[in-house]
Every structure is written in structure tokens, then in C-alpha cells.
Structure 1
Amino acid sequence: MKRHWRALSTHAHILAILHLHPRITMREVAAAVGITER
């Protein structure tokens, strides 16, 4: 799997998404960031 360089860490990306969309589900966050939900 090819990894892409990102300016934000995964953690920062998740925090930004939660700030912009406070009612988003964890499944939606995982899909937006490209990780699996746990």
C-alpha cells in the first residue's frame, strides 16, 4: 500500500473533522481519514 505524505497527522486530521462536524459518527470519521474504526 502506497502511503501519501500529509501536512497534518492523523490525530490532527481527526480533531479538525470533529471541530467542523461535532455530530459526525466514528464510522464517518474513519472513512474520511482513511483508517478503520475500532
Structure 2
Amino acid sequence: DGTEDGIANELVEGGIPRDMIVLGFRAPEVRQFTGFAMA
């Protein structure tokens, strides 16, 4: 997301499971390598 810490990591620290977070700013073919949900 371009931020230093990343909003996704802040969401995880806040208790949101990684499999519930989709990194929409990443191309779909790259999302499988992020450790977060695909879509």
C-alpha cells in the first residue's frame, strides 16, 4: 500500500485474520505470494 508499516499489517495486529484481507493494490497474479487472501 506504499506506507512504511502497511495497513494490512496494522489490520493483522488489530485481530483481522490474514485470510480475510485482500491486497487489492497488488495484481491478482502476485497476491498468491503475499500471505493474504486472494479475493
**TM-score normalised per structure 2:** 0.33
Which one has a bigger Cα radius of gyration? 1
**TM-score normalised per structure 1:** 0.33
Name whichever structure is richer in helix by fraction.
Answer: 1
